């Protein structure tokens, strides 16, 4: 199978070739899943969101005016579904996730809740660093978190993120700045420093 | 360059999105400013730590099989779509409503729907007692009314279920309805005219139109009729 650009596949699909749409699906589904998973922090929900996003794309692809912007478009659909999902499920697993580290919503207890010993390295090794990062990110505001995910894990440019989230560029950058500063504070409290990260690597 | 100014650029610099001339300014500022160097180092560290978040294998394997094909294909696709989403009894009821709707969408009909009892009463005829040509406008109006009521009804049925599923089902039904109506308008003419010619050649009147349509659908494999 030769490589075809997204735009080519879109054109073929709109001319009736379902196989082209499936190639788009195969190309994007895992990346969309990773994004949705990091956003809603639940495997099953992420899968359903990606499925809904792709069905939406299937139904509405003929309305996409600039096919070269397919990636922004499909991510935008996914972002909106994630947003709706979290809004609908205010008492969802994601909320529980944050609750269990924020005892009574007080972040100063974070240290005690996650780590009880004073030696950071040995403790972190027992814990899963991956889940610590996950839990820390869960404490950020949704607005900050989505920008961080799009930048850190998806590698979008700030201008692309601004377009997808439909907010000014300066807003995206300030959310990124304050979000990452917030992450620094959280990780510092947990004594996650370079040593730990290198140790894990 | 003042420290305050660098706040604007430190994020751009770190993610390599800083304009070239600003980069030069920023780099020379970094040489002088310990505070900014430290901040940049912190940024690096945090970014590196965040990369440690591993997520479960996606294992997604979605496959779209519905071709933009004939109306019958569409019905089959829809049935497939529903069978994956619909497991609960209330949804099955919804699907039955959909099935009735599908049949209706084929023919000239008079239909009334009572949302309180959930009952449809239908009288259909493609060439019924009236010899008038099919009045598309009226049909579309009726379709819209039924569609609206069906959706209202659907809302009631699904209230007991969790919001996510309800919303999803609504979306699917809504999309299906819209597509069907568009397709229906195209197919109706073809279907009607072929029936006219069939009637002319065979001289046979299709009085029991609903059964006839169902029979056709069954033959095409679109639906299965339990006897």
Going from the C-alpha of A27 to that of each of A15, A45, A58, A70, the distances in angstroms are: 19, 20, 14, 12
CB spacing of A197 vs B48 below 8 angstroms: yes
| pLDDT tens, position by position, B70-124 | 444 444 455 454 444 444 444 555 555 555 555 555 444 444 445 555 444 444 4
What is the pLDDT, as a whole number, of residue A58? Answer: 87
A61-65, B3-7, B122-126, range with greatest mean pLDDT: A61-65
Retrieve residue A26's tokens.
């195969």
Nearest CB to A85; choose among B48, B52, B164: B164
- E strand spans, chain B: 109-114, 119-124
How big is the A-B interface in CB pairs under 8 Å?
Answer: 103
Going from the C-alpha of B34 to that of each of A97, A185, B29, B58, B162, the distances in angstroms are: 38, 20, 9, 43, 55
C-beta separation of A75 from A35 below 8 A: yes
Residue A32 has pLDDT above 90, yes or no: yes
State mean pLDDT over A108-133: 53
State mean pLDDT over A164-179: 94
What is the pLDDT, as a whole number, of residue B129? Answer: 33
State mean pLDDT over B198-211: 53
* pLDDT, mean over chain B: 61
Query: What is the DSSP-derived secondary structure letter of residue B107?
Result: S
The dihedral over CA atoms of A81, A83, A85, A87, expressed in degrees to the nearest 10, equals: -150
What is the pLDDT, as a whole number, of residue A119? Answer: 43
Nearest CA in chain B to A184: B46
C-beta separation of A29 from A85 below 8 A: no
Distance from CA of B90 to the nearest CA of A (A): 21
More confident residue, A59 or A104: A59
Q: At residue B6, what are phi and psi to the nearest 5 degrees?
A: -65, -25
* Longest Cα separation, chain A: 64
Token match 């049949």: residue?
B103
Residue A21 has pLDDT above 70, yes or no: yes
ipTM confidence: 0.77
Q: Is A88 on the interface with B (CB under 8 A)?
A: yes
Other CB atoms within 10 A of residue A104 CB: 6
Helix (H, G, I), strand (E, B) or coil at B159: coil
Indicate the range of A52-56, A149-153, B135-139 predicted with least confidence.
B135-139
With bands split at pLDDT 50, 70 and 90, how would you rate the model's confidence at A146? very high
Residue B223 has pLDDT above 60, yes or no: no
- What percent of chain B is predicted at pLDDT more than 70? 25
C-beta separation of A57 from A27 below 8 A: no
With bands split at pLDDT 50, 70 and 90, how would you rate the model's confidence at A189? confident
Q: Is B103 left (phi over 0), alpha (psi -120 to 50) or beta?
A: alpha
What stretch of H or E contains B37?
helix B34-50
What is the pLDDT, as a whole number, of residue B95? Answer: 55
Residue B14 has pLDDT above 50, yes or no: yes
Token match 């209230």: residue?
B159
What is the pLDDT, as a whole number, of residue B86? Answer: 42
- E strand spans, B55-155: 109-114, 119-124
CB spacing of B11 vs A176 below 8 angstroms: yes
What is the pLDDT, as a whole number, of residue B72? Answer: 44
Going from the C-alpha of B160 to that of each of A110, A155, B82, B97, the distances in angstroms are: 38, 41, 19, 18
Three-class SS string for chain A? CCCCCHHHHHHHHHCCCHHHHHHHHHHHHHHHHHHHHHHHCCHHHHHHHHHHHHHHHHHHHHHCCCHHHHHHHHHHHHHHHHHHHHHHCCCCHHHHHHHHHCHHHCHHHHHHHHCCCCCHHHHHHHCCHHHHHHHHHHCCCHHHHHHHHHHHHCCCCHHHHHHHHCCCHHHHHHHHHHHHHHHHHHHHHCCCCHHHHHHHC
Per-window interface: A 9-48 vs B, CB < 8 A:
16, 18, 21-22, 25, 29-30, 33-34, 37-38, 43, 47-48
State mean pLDDT over A27-32: 90
CB spacing of B164 vs A38 below 8 angstroms: no
More confident residue, B101 or A32: A32
User: Cα(A83)–Cα(A167) distance, rounded to whole angstroms?
Assistant: 15
Helices and strands in chain B: count of H runs, count of E runs? 8, 2
What is the pLDDT, as a whole number, of residue A79? Answer: 95
Residue A19 has pLDDT above 80, yes or no: yes
* pLDDT, mean over chain A: 80
For an interface test with B, the pick among A59, A159, A201 (most B C-beta atoms closer than 10 Å) comes out as: A59
Nearest CA in chain A to B66: A18
More confident residue, B50 or A115: B50
Residue A38 has pLDDT above 50, yes or no: yes
With bands split at pLDDT 50, 70 and 90, how would you rate the model's confidence at A98? low
Indicate the range of B16-25, B145-154, B184-193 predicted with least confidence.
B184-193
State mean pLDDT over A144-164: 94
Residue A92 has pLDDT above 70, yes or no: no
Nearest CB to B52; choose among A158, A193, A197: A197
CA nearest to A175, candidates A131, A140, A201 = A140
Retrieve residue B163's tokens.
């919001």
Going from the C-alpha of A173 to that of each of A116, B26, B134, the distances in angstroms are: 35, 17, 60
The pTM of the full predicted model, rounded to 2 decimals, is 0.56
In terms of DSSP bridges, do strands B109-114 and B119-124 run parallel, antiparallel, or are they unpaired? Answer: antiparallel
Residue B133 has pLDDT above 70, yes or no: no
Retrieve residue B10's tokens.
């430190």
What is the pLDDT, as a whole number, of residue B199? Answer: 55
- What percent of chain B is predicted at pLDDT more than 90? 5
For an interface test with A, the pick among B15, B59, B60, B158 (most A C-beta atoms closer than 10 Å) comes out as: B60
């Amino acid at each position: 199978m030769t490589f075809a650009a997204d735009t080519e596949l879109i054109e073929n699909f709109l001319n009736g070739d379902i196989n082209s749409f499936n190639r788009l699906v195969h190309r994007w589904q895992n990346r969309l899943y990773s994004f949705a998973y990091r956003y809603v922090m639940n495997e099953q929900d992420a899968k359903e969101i990606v499925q809904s996003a792709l069905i939406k794309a299937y139904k509405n692809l003929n309305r996409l005016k600039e096919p070269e912007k397919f990636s922004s478009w499909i991510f935008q659909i996914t972002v909106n579904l994630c947003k709706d999902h979290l809004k609908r499920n205010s008492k969802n697993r994601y909320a529980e996730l944050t609750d269990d580290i924020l005892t009574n919503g007080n972040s100063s207890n974070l240290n005690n809740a996650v780590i009880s010993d004073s030696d950071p390295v040995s403790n972190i090794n027992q814990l899963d660093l991956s889940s610590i990062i996950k839990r820390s990110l869960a404490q950020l505001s949704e607005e900050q978190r989505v920008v961080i995910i799009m930048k850190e894990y998806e590698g979008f440019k700030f201008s692309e993120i601004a377009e997808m989230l439909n907010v000014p560029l300066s807003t995206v950058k300030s959310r990124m700045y304050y979000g990452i500063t917030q992450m620094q504070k959280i990780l510092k409290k947990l004594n996650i420093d370079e040593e730990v990260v290198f140790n894990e690597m | 360059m003042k420290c305050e100014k660098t706040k604007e650029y430190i994020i751009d610099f770190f993610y390599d999105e800083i304009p070239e001339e600003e980069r030069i300014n920023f780099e020379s500022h970094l040489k002088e400013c310990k505070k900014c160097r430290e901040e940049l180092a912190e940024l690096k560290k945090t970014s590196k730590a965040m990369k440690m978040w591993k997520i479960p294998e996606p294992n997604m394997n979605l496959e779209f099989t519905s071709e933009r094909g004939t109306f019958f294909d569409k019905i089959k696709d829809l049935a497939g779509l529903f069978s994956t989403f619909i497991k609960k009894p209330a949804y099955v009821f919804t699907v039955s409503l959909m099935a009735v709707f599908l049949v209706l969408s084929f023919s000239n009909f008079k239909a009334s729907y009572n949302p309180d009892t959930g009952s449809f009463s239908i009288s259909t005829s493609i060439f019924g007692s009236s010899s008038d040509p099919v009045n598309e406008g009226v049909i579309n109006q009726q379709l819209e009314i039924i569609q609206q009521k069906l959706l209202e009804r659907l809302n009631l049925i699904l209230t007991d279920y969790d919001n996510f599923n309800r919303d999803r089902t609504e979306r699917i039904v809504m999309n299906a309805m819209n597509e069907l109506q568009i397709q229906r308008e195209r197919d109706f003419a073809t279907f009607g005219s072929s029936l006219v010619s069939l009637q002319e050649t065979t001289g046979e009147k299709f009085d029991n139109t609903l059964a006839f349509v169902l029979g056709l659908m069954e033959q095409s494999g679109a639906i299965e009729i339990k006897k």
